[in-house]
Amino acid sequence: MTTNDNPSSGATSEKETFDDFRNSFSYGSRADLLFKFLKSGSEKMADEFLQELLHLTGNLIDDGDPQPIVEAIVRAQTESYAGAGHFTYDTGPFTRLDRPLSKSRVALLTTTGHFVEGDDPNPFGIADLTQDQAVQMTAEFGKADPVLSEIPITTSREATRVRHGGYDIRASAADRNVSFPMDRMNELADDGFIGGFVNPAFSFVGLTSQLRLRKEIAPEWAAKAKAAGAHAAVLIPI
């Protein structure tokens, strides 16, 4: 694999290894957050997955059934991300609720990067930062302090926005409940399954300074949720 296949151009061809190729999908020259898992798994796994993907694409032309392709992608993602993570955490204390869930007010906090239209956190002071721009700024996000977005629980789906440089947001943008289940939480409150849904809900971009988040910022946010009346919280990482 080369970057220049024309020998008459006079330019020196730079060879790209297969390892370079698969790594390029993770914040590289071919950045595609759906397939960034190719970097996380082994080179053998990536090789076998791409061969399977090409084979299944050929079948799709004949039978028109995309489901085997979907299953292959999900299976490869699962295998790639099943290994040890980059961060290790001490086991946190388990706190048992001192009241029934039906009498508990529950907060929602996600690392998904949701916010309300008109209340954009404007990362790095940039107005209307696009998703593509966010993907290109992963290094900056990883070093910066997170910004908490407060989202009123009456916010409509149409007014809910999402932007995150660390994952493929297409499903979350199409239906916020994929990763920010505010409608489901409202339903649980309406049905009496929980004692109440704390207003507002909270979200931030989890691609952030982990040390500051753990030691300083998270405790402040926990205090904010408690001040809003939370007895418990649903925490959703992405």
Residue 116 has pLDDT above 50, yes or no: yes
The model's pLDDT over 172-181, given as tens digits with 9 standing for 90+, comes to 999 999 999 9
In terms of domains, do 45 and 133 share one?
A: no
pLDDT of residue 212: 87
In terms of domains, do 232 and 127 share one?
A: yes
pLDDT-based confidence at residue 93 (cuts at 50, 70, 90):
low
Give the predicted TM-score (pTM) of the model. 0.79
Backbone angles phi, psi at 99, to 5 degrees: -155, 160
Asked whether residue 222 is domain-assigned, the answer is yes
Q: What is the mean pLDDT of the chain?
A: 89
Which tokens in the block code for residue 214?
């753990």
In terms of domains, do 138 and 195 share one?
A: yes
Distance between CA atoms of residues 150 and 55, nearest Å: 46
State which of 46, 81, 116 marks the end of a domain: 81
pLDDT-based confidence at residue 210 (cuts at 50, 70, 90):
confident
The model's pLDDT over 124-153, given as tens digits with 9 standing for 90+, comes to 999 999 999 998 888 899 888 899 999 999
What would the mean pLDDT of 164-170 be, rounded to a whole number?
Answer: 92
Asked whether residue 45 is domain-assigned, the answer is yes
Asked whether residue 164 is domain-assigned, the answer is yes
The model's pLDDT over 66-86, given as tens digits with 9 standing for 90+, comes to 999 999 999 999 988 886 666
In terms of domains, do 77 and 105 share one?
A: no
Residue 202 has pLDDT above 50, yes or no: yes
In terms of domains, do 117 and 198 share one?
A: yes
In terms of domains, do 112 and 216 share one?
A: yes
Burial 48-78 (b: 16+ CB within 10 A, else e): ebbebbeebeeeeeeeeeeebbeeebeebbe
Parent domain of 156: 101-236
Asked whether residue 94 is domain-assigned, the answer is no
pLDDT of residue 7: 46
State which of 52, 81, 110 marks the end of a domain: 81
Task: Provide the number of structural domains found in the chain.
Answer: 2
